[in-house]
Structure 1
Amino acid sequence: MFWKAIAVLLIALLAWSYQALCPPTPRLCGSTGGPSVEGPRIKLRDGRHLAYLEHGVSKETANYKIILVHGFGSNKNEAHFARSALVEKLGIHLVSFDRPGYGESDPDPKRTVESIALDIEELGDKLALGPKFYIIGTSMGGQVVWGCLKYIPHRLAGVAMIAPVINYWWPGFPAKLATEAYYEQFPQDQWALRVAHYAPSLVYWWNTQKWFPPSSVAAGRPNFTAPDLQVLAKLSASMVNRVLVFISFLEWHETEETAFTSYLACRQDYSTQQGLFESLHRDMMIGFGSWDFDPMDLDNPFVDREGSVHLWQGDNDGLVPVTLQSYIAKKLRWIQYHEMPNAGHLFPHGDITATDAILNALLVGDK
């Protein structure tokens, strides 16, 4: 009887462990019980759908065509570059899209650094953006752009990466420099990234269990610095005014921290509506996993000087270490590096002059 009880307990423990480790099935857009499909989508080579939005002047009259790649926990709707006055002045057509697993884009369980670059290439083809187009990637979307430089350089007219996320295991970094930057993170993020790199099958469990603190970014409590909190307070106030205008008679007393909470909640409702695993968690697995190439081994895709690569980084960024970013720029001399003083991770979102500077440098440059 005793051994039977032990066996039952072991079976129950195994069943519980399996359930805790396995992420739930994604709630596919357009499926029974899943979110509805509200916007346009293209069908990709493997049958998946990619949701997108077009902004700015018509592509038929545009002088420049840009694909925007959003960051962690974001989506196609946050195309802040489309608000620049330069869009009309320079004749810019922009396309933002939900990366796989985000918003209304189907998940890609086989997603790799290469596959998302090929998705972007196919998006450009399906929308008839021409043989070459520009790409702007922000944060985790900026990291995605490294894959475009590796796998589809022949399709690029120019590139801008804004505070692209660093993978601490890229072999081109000096070990001492990477280690020092790694230990500047919150302890909980050090553990979360170890799990993502060394045990990716445990990423879902690690970020949903209650015993240890999960990734601060995935949990909505990243290491934003003072400049970022000021940006988020403005964004939150703007969103609250738009979404909750019917209760505008109330007196709001939000601190910067609660402003961020309000902003993040509104933002992630759509971004992660198909599930956290195929959006946030797979981002971590890909971004901090083992890559097939080292960005610091890449060659200049514009040796003919018909395009340029720009890397923008705030010197007060609490999420992406400026020491590692500047090292990449020194290693790859063909990158035009722009370090923004007293700026955090979100600097383009709060300052239209920064957005204009990014567009001007990418599109006009020395022309």
Structure 2
Amino acid sequence: MTSSKNSLNCFKIVVSSNLMIFLSIYHAGMFIVAFLFVLLAMAAWACQAIRPPPPKICGSAGGPPVTAPRIKLKDGRHLAYKEHGVSKEVATYKIIYIHGFRTCRHDVVIATNLPTEFFQELGLYIVSFDRPGYGESDPNPKQTVKSLASDVQELADQLDLGTKFYVIGNSIGGQLAWGCLKYIPHRLAGAALVSPIVNYWWQGFPTNLLREAYKREPAQDQWAIRVAHYMPWLTYWWNTQKWFPASSAVAGNINSLSPQDLQIMSKVVGTKISKGQATQQGVFESMHRTLMIGLGNWEFSPMDIDNPFRNKEEGFVHVWQGDEDRITPVTLQRYITDKLPWIKYHELPGAGHFFPYAPGMGELIIRSLLSRGN
């Protein structure tokens, strides 16, 4: 009898133990399932958060209307442009202007204050265009520095600007001017880079000089620059999330500008820049794509470019820089131009990044470029 009771107790203990083990496994399994569910939900949210919305293509359903003249490129994209000055048929000089960040074809900095008489005196024709994704130009998800130079060349060909033309690139548009000097130098009669943005990963800079210039960047820009270079797929999220400060350029933060820039911004720039139209197709394929390319890995460094104008009668390349520019480090600009002695370098004391808007600067920049001298 006692033996039967012991057997029964042992059976109960075994059943109870197995049941506890089963319940433990069940609860652990439920926890793991719940944990995995939370992880999947967070991953889905993260994917959605970092994925930019599709662009609103001009002329498409729900997109902005097409109001500008446009050319159709070889790959099927459209490039919008705007003509200034005398007609190209009678022009003596033809310039392609490349706009900067948050701007478009309407924002031709060097022509902001130019009188009609100036265009007529020189026989000057200027064409500006919307970079891919800006204004009314179709986005180009496969955009590179080289493809941008090809866009410039196709624009010149379709508008019949001749075998040679001038380019002027402003701010981050100056990077595209470097691209033209690298990829289509045979098409250029001359080039001017005005406050051109520098890429910290261009080969050739001394480490100590880079480190010093980088530390001068506002903290929020140091982070935004790193993201655009090392994790370009996070660029949209970084500049649209609310947890950390976005790029000051994207956010339109003017606190870090020079005194001259602040004065110019208050009097001129705010009334001249077409901010709304520049990003009407979406901020990713315009501003964020520009950051990803401008701060990405380049196939070349400007410091490795050969002089495209070995004969003084062929033309010159000019770089204009303010020594109080807090967007483009003057120390790095000096280093680039020192490495390229064929560059005509113009450093303006007390000038900031927006000095081209100052009265008389557009005329000075253009006359210097066209005279092919200092």
TM over 0.5: yes
Distance between the aligned counterparts of 2:224 and 2:109, measured in 1?
30
Distance between the aligned counterparts of 1:28 and 1:150, measured in 2?
30
Instruction: Kindly report the root-mean-square deviation, in angstroms, between the aligned alpha carbons of the 2 structures.
Output: 1.4
Distance between the aligned counterparts of 1:171 and 1:356, measured in 2?
34
Task: Give the alignment of 1:9-24 within 5 angstroms.
Answer: 9-24=38-53
1:225 matched to 2:258? The reply is: yes
Q: Give the superposition deviation at 1:65.
A: 0.2
Residue of structure 2 aligned with 1:338, choices 333, 346, 352: 346
Distance between the aligned counterparts of 1:58 and 1:365, measured in 2?
23
Distance between the aligned counterparts of 1:65 and 1:118, measured in 2?
18
Partner amino acid, structure 2, of 1:333: P
Partner amino acid, structure 2, of 1:30: G
Distance between the aligned counterparts of 1:45 and 1:179, measured in 2?
42
SS of the equivalent of 2:250 reads coil
Aligned residue in 1 for 2:129: 97
Distance between the aligned counterparts of 1:275 and 1:357, measured in 2?
35
Distance between the aligned counterparts of 1:81 and 1:144, measured in 2?
16
Q: Is the 8 A contact 1:57 1:87 kept in 2?
A: yes
Aligned residue in 2 for 1:213: 245
Aligned residue in 2 for 1:153: 185
Q: Give the superposition deviation at 1:341.
A: 1.2
SS of the equivalent of 1:217 reads helix
Distance between the aligned counterparts of 1:55 and 1:188, measured in 2?
38
Partner amino acid, structure 2, of 1:342: G
Q: Is the 8 A contact 1:135 1:159 kept in 2?
A: yes
Distance between the aligned counterparts of 2:170 and 2:104, measured in 1?
11
SS of the equivalent of 2:192 reads strand
Aligned residue in 1 for 2:114: 84
Aligned residue in 1 for 2:334: 326
Aligned residue in 2 for 1:192: 224
Distance between the aligned counterparts of 2:337 and 2:89, measured in 1?
35
Residue of structure 2 aligned with 1:295, choices 296, 299, 302: 302
SS of the equivalent of 2:189 reads strand
Q: Is the 8 A contact 1:218 1:280 kept in 2?
A: yes
Distance between the aligned counterparts of 1:236 and 1:302, measured in 2?
34
Aligned residue in 2 for 1:63: 92
SS of the equivalent of 2:103 reads coil
Q: Give the superposition deviation at 1:364.
A: 1.6
Aligned residue in 2 for 1:29: 58
Residue of structure 1 aligned with 2:278, choices 248, 265, 271: 271
Aligned residue in 2 for 1:167: 199
Aligned residue in 1 for 2:157: 125
Q: Give the superposition deviation at 1:236.
A: 5.6
Partner amino acid, structure 1, of 2:160: A
Q: Which whole-Å deviations, capped at 9, do the CAs of 1:154-194 have from their partners, x for residues lacking one?
A: 00000000010000111111111011001100011001111
Please say which of residues 84-93 and 109-118 is displaced more in the overlay: 84-93
Partner amino acid, structure 2, of 1:8: F
Gapped runs of 5+ residues in structure 1? 240-262
Residue of structure 2 aligned with 1:283, choices 275, 279, 290: 290
SS of the equivalent of 1:310 reads strand
Alignment length, in residue pairs? 340
Q: Give the superposition deviation at 1:366.
A: 4.3
State TM-score, norm by structure 2.
0.88
Q: Is the 8 A contact 2:316 2:373 kept in 1?
A: no
> Cα distance 1:215–1:41, how it changes in 2: closer, same or farther (>3 A)?
same
Which of the two has higher C-alpha Rg?
2
SS of the equivalent of 2:248 reads coil
Q: Which whole-Å deviations, capped at 9, do the CAs of 1:313-350 have from their partners, x for residues lacking one?
A: 00110100101101111110000000011111000112
Task: Give the alignment of 1:241-260 within 5 angstroms.
Answer: none
Distance between the aligned counterparts of 1:8 and 1:81, measured in 2?
57
* Identical residues among aligned pairs (%): 57
Gapped runs of 5+ residues in structure 2? 1-29
Partner amino acid, structure 1, of 2:135: G
Distance between the aligned counterparts of 2:373 and 2:268, measured in 1?
33
Partner amino acid, structure 1, of 2:208: K
Q: Is the 8 A contact 2:269 2:357 kept in 1?
A: no
